Structure 1
Amino acid sequence: MVPGSAYARAPLLPVPSVQPSSGPWTSGEGFSFGLGKKKEAKARRSVSGMACSLSTVQQRICLLVFDEGVEVRYATLREGTLVVGSERVVLRADAGELDAEGAATDGSYFYVTGSHSAKRSDCQSNPHSRHVLRFRRDPATGRALRS
């Protein structure tokens, strides 16, 4: 802060406390990636971001990103349940892993960001993770528009 600025003199407001309104939601059988047992379990636990919006029929459609692999998936929120979809959206056509860490939507587009970090094992540069992807959202379905 700049000394003497309005920010320096403003009183600090208390940080709001947010409490969960329920426990974890069920997702039935969960996502299936067609991997071996160990890799499948790891991929299913690797959701790192979620962006939700309403479709024209008022379904809350969510885009889920994973920090393992190169694809995103959809799920629909319904009365305390996460109904997972089978549709795959592949983010990269090459062998590089985005290492997706976040998802957002502004209602018109979905945004997916990579970790932008070095490789954990050896701190080598990881250019595949240094991307923010933007793709148009179909307002009717709540999913990404396909070209």
Structure 2
Amino acid sequence: PWIGDRRSDDVVHTATFGVRAEFVDFEKLAGFVDHWVGRDHVEVHGVSWDVLATHRRAYLSEVRKAAVDDAVTTAQAYADAVRRGRVTPVEIADPGMLGDGSGGGQPAPMMAKAAFADLGPEGGPGLRLEPEEILVEAAVDARFRTE
């Protein structure tokens, strides 16, 4: 092996491994990253952001309701434009599940944005953590009937 510009007879071993950790407490994440980011031979490549599975289910339920509400509102607007009366949903399904090949429309997004923190001691190096926007989206296909 070579060390700098000279050959060495010493055997050199290197190893690389990755660590994945999940945090629900931003302060604990900040402390963990702050602890490791300043260490020799340790690289922190970044943080990925997501919501807890239980929260994701709740958000998805909320977004699905919004998608259905939007579909009903849109259908009613079309029916009103041609004076067809009140619409009633006949079928509602995930995109492509109605068997008509339409494939659905655009999902209705719900976005959450978190604050950021600057880690590291005063005047010292730190890793800036800035949570990404987390997108939760849903789309529906629907068929309606008018009165």
TM-score tier, shorter chain, comes to: under 0.3
Question: TM-score of the superposition, structure 2-length normalised?
Answer: 0.23
Greater RCO, 1 or 2 (C-alpha within 8 Å, sep 6+) = 2
Which of the pair is proportionally richer in strand?
1
Q: Which has the higher helix share?
A: 2
